[in-house]
Amino acid sequence: MKEKEELLAQLRDAFVNIDSNKVNELLKIAIEEGVSPRDVIERAIRQGADEVGRKYEACEYFLPELVMSGEMMKEAIEVLKPLMQAEGATSSGKVSFGTVKGDLHDIGKNIVISMLSVAGFDVYDLGVDVPPERFVSEVRERKPDILCMSSLLTHTMPEMKLVIDELKKNGLREKVKVMVGGRPVTQEYADSIEADSYGRDAYEAVIKAKQLMNREQRQRQATGS
Ligand code: B12
């Protein structure tokens, strides 16, 4: 157990130090030792990202380090993807997912998409920097059960409310469940913009998406539609 803790701490530090050789070496060991992808993502990658972000804020790191850490995280996720197992998927549905306008962060979004996919959801990736009108046309045309939005920048969070407002204006708000997430997003914020759900991480996203699907099924049964 102590070895696993140490391994995760070393892996996190290798991410923070932008040492890609060390990351590859430790990632290989973690997989061989059977450390779960969840622990690697949340305790090494995400905590490492937080520390890189802190260093960036403190002007110890600059944009090149931010870019390199992003690339390293993406590569690690690609290695982990095949290992992410479905955890008791009972219901599936259609999900459309994008990072909001003005925001280019997609590492977290891509992890959530992988997890939803292995849980049996059909996920359509709208990419990054997605304008409200694109989210609206997606709901109108593809008719997803759940619309997911990701935001990593505090100044792009209000885009989520704009999308919800546009859905209302176009008479589409009742047609889709909206789930939001991303580092600065909180349950309180999700409630304040009248989103249907919020997920803190990819694992919670899967649980919440299943809950939304079950809720939708119950509503359909109640209205007989
Ligand atoms: C890597 C990185 C980048 C990379 C992004 C690469 C990429 N392809 O995504 C690059 C270099 C491009 C970048 C650019 C910028 N960045 Co940046 N970046 C980061 C960094 C270090 C890591 C982000 C990350 O990938 N985290 C790891 C993933 C796994 O975590 P996550 O995204 O939070 O996702 C998880 C959850 O949030 C959740 N989740 C995410 N989305 C969703 C959606 C739903 C529906 C649900 C349910 C859940 C969910 O599940 C995920 C998995 O567990 C963060 C620091 C941090 N602590 O996050 C700064 C950070 C987000 N960036 C920041 C800044 C300032 C910028 C720039 C403005 C810098 C600049 N001067 O140009 C630009 C903005 C570009 C733009 N327009 O978007 C700031 C934001 C500050 C703020 N308050 O808004 C941060 C916080 C750094 C800091 N502390 O200052 N960045």
Of 126, 131, 207, 194, which is closest to residue 165 (Cα–Cα)? Answer: 194
The answer, yes or no, to whether residue 168 has pLDDT greater than 60, is yes
Regarding whether 47 and 130 lie in a shared domain, the answer is no
224 CA distance to ligand 1 centroid (A)? 43
Task: Give the range of the structural domain holding residue 121, as residue numbers without chain letter.
Answer: 94-223
90 CA distance to ligand 1 centroid (A)? 31
Among the three residues 30, 60, 83, which one is the final residue of a domain in this structure?
A: 83
pLDDT tens for each residue of 140-163: 999 999 999 999 999 999 999 999
Q: Determine the atom of ligand 1 nearest the C-alpha atom of 128.
A: 78
| CB of 112 shorter than 6 A to ligand 1 | yes
| CB of 157 shorter than 6 A to ligand 1 | no
Residue 88 maps to a domain: no
Question: Cα(129)–Cα(121) distance, rounded to whole angstroms?
Answer: 23
218 CA distance to ligand 1 centroid (A)? 36
| CB of 108 shorter than 6 A to ligand 1 | yes
Among the three residues 83, 107, 136, which one is the final residue of a domain in this structure?
A: 83
Among the three residues 29, 58, 83, which one is the final residue of a domain in this structure?
A: 83
From 21-25, 99-103, 104-108, 212-216, the region with the lowest mean pLDDT: 212-216
| CB of 178 shorter than 6 A to ligand 1 | no
Regarding whether 18 and 115 lie in a shared domain, the answer is no
| CB of 84 shorter than 6 A to ligand 1 | no
Q: What is the mean pLDDT of residues 95-123?
A: 92
Closest C-alpha to ligand 1, atom 51:
108
Q: How many domains does the chain have?
A: 2
- Confidence band, pLDDT 50/70/90 cuts, at residue 193: very high
Of 222, 217, 190, 221, which is closest to residue 93 (Cα–Cα)? Answer: 217
Regarding whether 218 and 111 lie in a shared domain, the answer is yes
What does R_g of the chain's alpha carbons equal in angstroms?
18
153 CA distance to ligand 1 centroid (A)? 7
Burial group, residue 157, by CB count within 10 angstroms (0-12, 13-18, 19+): buried
Question: Cα(127)–Cα(156) distance, rounded to whole angstroms?
Answer: 15
Regarding whether 194 and 123 lie in a shared domain, the answer is yes
Residue 204 maps to a domain: yes
Give the strands of the sheet with 197-198, arranged side by side: 122-130, 94-100, 146-150, 177-181, 197-198
Closest C-alpha to ligand 1, atom 61:
152
Q: Output the pTM of the full model.
A: 0.89
pLDDT of residue 89: 41
102 CA distance to ligand 1 centroid (A)? 12
